[in-house]
Each structure stands twice: as C-alpha cells, then as structure tokens.
Structure 1
C-alpha cells in the first residue's frame, strides 16, 4: 500500500480539521465521507474537492462507508460518547483507525475497542496531538534528567463559546472528558507513569442556567503509581472576551528541577479595534499553503504507521488508561470519595 485511502466519519469542526490536515498529502487521500447530516457531508466533500483532490464518495452511514473497498482507514470525529462502538465496528471491518479524543467515555467500551483492534490486527491511535507540540516534546526530554516527578498541574479552560455555540452536544459530555483528556495523556507521558487513584469535584451553575446540563468546571486530584501527585483543572465558562478560546498551562516539579509550559500566547499578539487576541498556531495552521502544526504532525505519524505497520507513539492501551482515569474521576464526583483507577 503506497497511499492510505481514508474515510472521514463526522463532518463537523473536527472532521473538517482532519480533512485540512490530510489535504495535499501524497501518501494519503480522503475517498469517503459520512455524517448524520447529509448536507454537512456534502459541504465537506466539496471543500476537499476544492483543494484539488477527487471528490470523496458520500455514504449514508458508517456501515456503508466500512463496506467501501476504497477505504483502508477511518477517522472518527463524532461526539465523545459515540467513539467506542464505532471503533469496534471499524476494527472488525479491517479498517485502521484514528479517533478524536477521548478514545471512549467508558472503560467497558475502551476495553472492547482494544480487544477488537488487537484481534483484527489494525493500527489505531487516539489523536492526542499535544505530544507533537514542540515545547511539550522538548519537556519530555528535559524531564528525563530532572529525577522523579513530585507535583504536576495542568489546566485547560475554554470560553463559554465552546459548550454553548461550538458544540451542539455539550450536555452529553463534560469539560473533563473534552479538555482534561488531553492533559491526562500529556502529563502521564511526561511523568512516564500511570494514575492509580483520583479524587474529583465539580461545580454546576452557569451552564445549567442556560439549559445545558453539564458541569461548569471540574478539578481532579490524581496520585500516580510512583507517588507523584497532579491536579487537572477544566472549565468552559470563561467569558468570550478572553483573548484565546482555550487557556492552557502545564507545570511539572521534579526532584531536580521545574518545567513550565504556558500556551496562552503562541508568539503572535493581534490588536484590532474590537479587541485583543493571541492567535493560535501550534496545533493547526496553514504555512505557505501547506497544513502544519502538531495536529498535522500527529496525523502524519498515524498515516505512516498505517502504511508501514509500525505501532503509533500513542498506544491504544495508553488511551484506554486516560478513559479509566476520567471514568474514576466522574465516579468520585458522584460518590464524593477517592476512587481507584481500573
């Protein structure tokens, strides 16, 4: 196989983001699209064709796309709670898989997906693209020389635009599933360790008052197997006047040093009459007409693994562990007790 033929499942923001990152590649092409909205699928197919590629086939549903012999792999960009079953069906159809984070929203679904992926010998990766942000990758190397990690802190907070306008399904997930999944994967990778116990709390109020029944904010206190402790903060009620849609910060204190990673500003400051902003460019950007950034780099890595048979940097088992941490955190919120991670 010299070109990976890809079917996009979901034609929303993430579907379009993946399509942009794949556009122009010589080793991959989008051959099919499906979405719950036929109009959205059609618009995405048109956008792909406008970038100079052949217009992909539009399928009415996932089953039809999986039955398409012109599809070698699928990119799953559906709402968080739909990933698990789709991964199992794709693996059983012999298709390689790239799934948006979180991998699933239950350990049972994650375990079923891992089983199907391994039994059917397909390549699968959850798109935790932060591992390809240059500063984070550098931090991974730097921490190797700083001794045992002691304390970590990670926050990822969104403006209220995200749960009220960007996502039509915000009440089917939480800010922790949507945001802290990235940070749990990232910090666990940086610490080279796994979370063994969590205690979590949540606050409801602002979003409920707007008719969206999901927490405004969640904090997770995590204990790692070698003794490090970490706090994972997520919230999505920042005012829309905040200069970035997401406020992201990570720090790790080790025995012999500290690493701090602040992504609020990414080199560019923009002032206009209507406001002040920090344009994002590390994850997704188009540079000289070519998609670039951590998002595109992560997808390129997955494409290469599918074509060569190598296992991805992000194993599907490690992404299952992120789901286990978050499932335990949500149980802790309900019970107000510490919970062991399964």
Structure 2
C-alpha cells in the first residue's frame, strides 16, 4: 500500500457522493477510481472530486474494470441494497478492502458467501452502520453497562414519502425494514450486547402500491434476544413531506436498573422560514468550517484507519451478516405469519 489508501467508489448516487465528500478531504486517502451504472453520473462525480482540489479519478465502465485497476486498494460500495453481495465477493477475491453501505446484503446466503470470501482473502471489510458514531448513542452504550440486564427496547425509524417516491428509484427492490430498521437492529443489538434469536413481523401495503411502487408502507418486527430481552423495530416511509425532518428516529432501552432514551427528531437546531418549519439534521452528515464532519465521516475514518493498520473494525462483517439474518427472518415471518428462528454467526467483536 502507498502512503495513501487509494479508493474506488462504486455508485455515483446520493450515497456515493456522500462517501466521496467524507473521503475527499482526508490527507491519508486518495479517490483514484469511480464507476456507476451511468457513465455520465460517474464522470460527473469524478469532476466533483477533482473540483475539490484532488486529482481526477479514473472513470471505469464497470466494477470488473475498477477491481482490475492496480491503483485501487479499497472499494466503497454505494449501490442499491440487493446487489451488494456479489460485489463484496468479487472485491475480496481481488484483494480490495471493502466499505459497504447498509444493509450488508438482502440475503443470508449472499452474506455468508461474502463473509467467507472476506475472511479467506484477509481483507478489511465493514458495513457502514454509522449510528454507532453518533455521540449520544456511543454514550448510551457506556451508560447501559451500569444499568443491569437489558429488558425491553423500542426503535422507530420512519421516513417521509419523499424517500421511496423521489429519492430512491429502486424502492420496489427493497423495503422500509431493509432500508431503515437495519440501522436500528445493528444499534440495539450493540446496545444490548446480545443477538436476536427469534422474530415475528407484520407489514402493511396500501399507499405506495397505489402509487405503483410495490413495497410495504410500514413494517413492525418483534424480536426476542438470546438472554431474554425483547425489542420492537418499527419502520415506515409514508410520512407526509410536510414533516419537519425526512427521518423520524427514536430509540429507548429499558434495563433492570434504569432506562436510556435517544430522540433524534430534533438535533439542536430549529429553523423557521416563511415557507416552512424544519429541524436541520447535523449528527450524521455536516460540513463544519469547510470540513466534512459527523458520525458518517467518523465511521468512514475508522474504516480507513483499520484498512491502514489491519485492525478489526468496531462493526465486524459477521455482526452485519447477523443483521441481514434478522431481516430475512422478519420477511419470512411476514409471508408465513409465524415466528421465525434466527441463525447467528459468532461475532469476533462481541463484548
């Protein structure tokens, strides 16, 4: 490896640009390549990166060409949820470190294949569950260590209808649970220091189907943990666009000796203008004094450091595979209307 970690970005949409922004200001990183389904979008992203004072990345026609580029040490996969699995296997086989947007995959079989390839080829891999770097959530992890056994958890992550109808062109290839609850399942399992063993889930279809998007409006997952805690994971994405934030997020964990509540609806700023009222988001992504900051940038910085040192990331690839297992079981439960047991991998990073 050279003095800088040389990165290829796969996908030039919202998340590809978000990752590029967080990476482009780092002295220990160089974005050397970009690819996307749309060559024009990849070229535009390459131009934006060079416009920030960096060398213009090479624009490759496809993932295969990018993985063959000797000037790429690591890849950042920012493609739709359902295509991550094969890409991770190919990247691992090519000896490239991997950062993948959540969820890791939408199939346990694909997740298991990715874990095998990653471990066999010795690359560093992490799923970008950036919520573990939100200061309040990290503080909650420490506080809960003093409150006894976890008992009951609730996590809500609901989006406005803008997300499945305008932000995502592939909403019918995923669900609100894959897209939203994946964050919360990773977070709550980390906070509880435990793994889900059984789930029962229900879903509602209606609003989005009426708009020609065949995906549930909302999903609720009831989860039992191996040491007895129970949790509810709620996701929906049909809030009206008049809601003051695109996402409404709340987490609570009740333990034997206390409770921790985490409400991210407001993030310390309230903005009122003649045309509306909003709560600007700033914990995950922000630019502070010209420098990318927030939990998103902090999580990416952690992955870069692990790639450069060979350390195990805080979020192991096994733990992210286990999130996929919970969600696959939940979707099976929706279809069968029965509880479904979850088979977990041992997590080498578990407390």
Shorter-chain TM-score tier: over 0.9
Cα distance in 2 between the residues matched to 1:205 and 1:73: 41
Give the corresponding residue for 2:49: 48
Give the corresponding residue for 2:349: none
Cα distance in 2 between the residues matched to 1:274 and 1:209: 29
Q: How does 1:64-75 map to 2 (within 5 A)?
A: 64-75=65-76
Give the corresponding residue for 2:261: 260
Give the corresponding residue for 1:243: 244
Alpha-carbon displacement from aligned partner over 1:56-109 (angstroms, at most 9, x marks no partner): 000000000000000000000000000000000000000000000000000000
Secondary structure of the 2:284 match is coil
Secondary structure of the 2:84 match is helix
Give the corresponding residue for 1:114: 115
Task: Write out the 4+ residue segments of structure 1 that deviate beyond 4 Å after TM superposition.
Answer: none
Alpha-carbon displacement from aligned partner over 1:99-140 (angstroms, at most 9, x marks no partner): 000000000000000000000000000000000000000000
Secondary structure of the 2:268 match is coil
Residue segments in structure 2 that go unaligned for 5+ positions in a row: 344-351
Shift, 1:23, TM fit: 1.4
Q: How does 1:9-28 map to 2 (within 5 A)?
A: 9-28=10-29
Give the corresponding residue for 2:325: 324
Cα distance in 1 between the residues matched to 2:159 and 2:190: 23
Cα distance in 2 between the residues matched to 1:24 and 1:226: 43
Give the corresponding residue for 2:348: none
Cα distance in 1 between the residues matched to 2:44 and 2:316: 33
Cα distance in 2 between the residues matched to 1:165 and 1:29: 32
The normalised TM-score by structure 2 is 0.97
Alpha-carbon displacement from aligned partner over 1:271-304 (angstroms, at most 9, x marks no partner): 0111000000000000000000000000000000
Alpha-carbon displacement from aligned partner over 1:203-255 (angstroms, at most 9, x marks no partner): 00000000000000000000000000000000000000000000000000000
Give the corresponding residue for 2:283: 282
Shift, 1:29, TM fit: 1.1
Cα distance in 1 between the residues matched to 2:312 and 2:238: 38
* Residue 86 of structure 2 is aligned to residue 85 of structure 1: yes
Secondary structure of the 1:226 match is coil
Secondary structure of the 1:266 match is coil
Cα distance in 2 between the residues matched to 1:262 and 1:42: 39
Shift, 1:24, TM fit: 1.2
Secondary structure of the 1:237 match is strand
Alpha-carbon displacement from aligned partner over 1:1-44 (angstroms, at most 9, x marks no partner): 32100000000000000000001101111000000001110110
Q: How does 1:1-342 map to 2 (within 5 A)?
A: 1=1, 2-342=3-343
Cα distance in 2 between the residues matched to 1:52 and 1:267: 32
Cα distance in 2 between the residues matched to 1:201 and 1:242: 25
Question: How well do the aligned residues superpose, as a CA RMSD in angstroms?
Answer: 0.4
Shift, 1:199, TM fit: 0.1
How many residue pairs end up in the alignment? 342
Cα distance in 2 between the residues matched to 1:89 and 1:73: 12
